[in-house]
Amino acid sequence: MIEILEKQLKKEEYNNLYLFYGEEYLKKYYESKYKAAILKNSLEDMNLNIIEGKTTIKEIADKANQVPFMSPYRLVLVRNSGFFAKSGTDMESLSELTSTIIIFTEKEVDKRVGAYKTLAKKGLAVEMKIPKENELVNWLGDFFKDNKTAIKKSDIIYLLQITPPDMQMIKKEAEKLASHGEITREVIDQLVTKSPDLKIFDMLKFLGQKDVKKALQIYNNMLDNRTEPLMILAMIIRQFRLILRVKALSHSGVPLDNIVSKLKSRSFIVRECLAQSKNFKFNTLIQALEDCLNTDIAIKTGKISPPLGVELLIVKYGSSDI
């Protein structure tokens, strides 16, 4: 669908109805790009309406029915209307407009509701998905090149590995780095804050290697940075569960690329989970998840303090007899 948007922008041929949903950065990016293209060489203040939050079809129609001033189009941007998350909204009247383009950008979308079905039929509904790893590498490569900043491809991949899968966050970190003439691994480690999930990755890697000292060091650093023990426990549970799923799928003969697609994860995360899975038996992973649940219950019922509960769990699975 992104390809269709790019073709429309290039040819300057537009639908009258759009729905953008999914990845936040891409929604804002294409809303801005369409706005610039549609209102090009026109009086923006006269031909643009922005509606934020809850609204009605009548309010949108009233804005949309105004004749564009010295421009072929009027543009109405509707953000987070909620129309596409529940039934009861009739989009038919908006689909009949000819000189107005309406772009909905939404956080929540249910493809089963009538509003979505109508818009997808009469206009263009586009789910914005975070690009694949190689596409992100190229995107960041172009960004750093435009900013005259030297960086190796391997260091771009490393940057992506230590940042959350959120394009806005990735762009923010890239902008922080772009002030340097040349970016090295050392510069990245100095300026970019590692995602907490990556710290849990390292923790479980050390648990698998039976290096409880380094695992506890990561845990204590997270506590020093005011990460709540229950949040750390939740991330440990998620990581154990992901390792178990990757191990099971790989054991069943599912290729790596298919595992990435099935789990809707990033390829380097699946590769890391696959490597870590070799350090844990199936029974160990299942038992670890049960122990995590019991620790969670013990903490929430006041039987043990949160820091100590998680620490005992780390010590158990970092010991040589597990």
**In this predicted structure, which of 11-25, 153-167, 227-241 has the lowest mean pLDDT?**
153-167
Question: Are 23 and 59 within one domain?
Answer: yes
Q: Indicate which CATH number applies to the domain containing 183.
A: 1.10.8
Please state the rounded mean pLDDT for residues 16-23: 93
Q: What share of the chain in percent tops pLDDT 70?
A: 99
Question: Are 244 and 282 within one domain?
Answer: yes
The distance from CA 288 to its chain's CA centroid, rounded to whole angstroms, is 28
Question: Are 167 and 181 within one domain?
Answer: yes
pLDDT digits (tens, 9 = 90+) for 73-87: 899 999 999 999 888
**What is residue 94's predicted lDDT score, i.e. its pLDDT?**
83
Question: Are 185 and 268 within one domain?
Answer: no
| Confidence at 321, pLDDT banded by 50, 70, 90 | low
Query: Alpha-carbon Rg of the chain, whole angstroms?
Result: 25
Please state the rounded mean pLDDT for residues 242-254: 94
The distance between the two most distant Cα atoms of the chain, rounded to a whole number of Å, is 78
Please state the rounded mean pLDDT for residues 127-150: 89
Sign of CA dihedral 228, 230, 235, 239: positive
Question: Are 182 and 209 within one domain?
Answer: no
Question: Are 230 and 313 within one domain?
Answer: yes
Question: Are 207 and 314 within one domain?
Answer: yes
Domain boundary residue, one of 165, 191, 217: 191
Question: Are 245 and 308 within one domain?
Answer: yes
Question: Are 103 and 143 within one domain?
Answer: no
Domain boundary residue, one of 191, 212, 231: 191
Question: Are 121 and 230 within one domain?
Answer: no
Nearest alpha-carbon partner for 116 in 130, 102, 129, 104: 104
Domain carrying residue 75: 2-128
Question: Are 137 and 62 within one domain?
Answer: no
Domain boundary residue, one of 191, 211, 236: 191
**What is residue 195's predicted lDDT score, i.e. its pLDDT?**
77
Distances (CA, A) of 301 to 230, 232, 305, 306: 13, 18, 10, 11
**What is residue 76's predicted lDDT score, i.e. its pLDDT?**
94
Question: Are 181 and 293 within one domain?
Answer: no
Q: Indicate which CATH number applies to the domain containing 66.
A: 3.40.50.300
pLDDT reading at 200 higher than 70: yes
Domain count, the chain: 3
Full-model pTM: 0.69
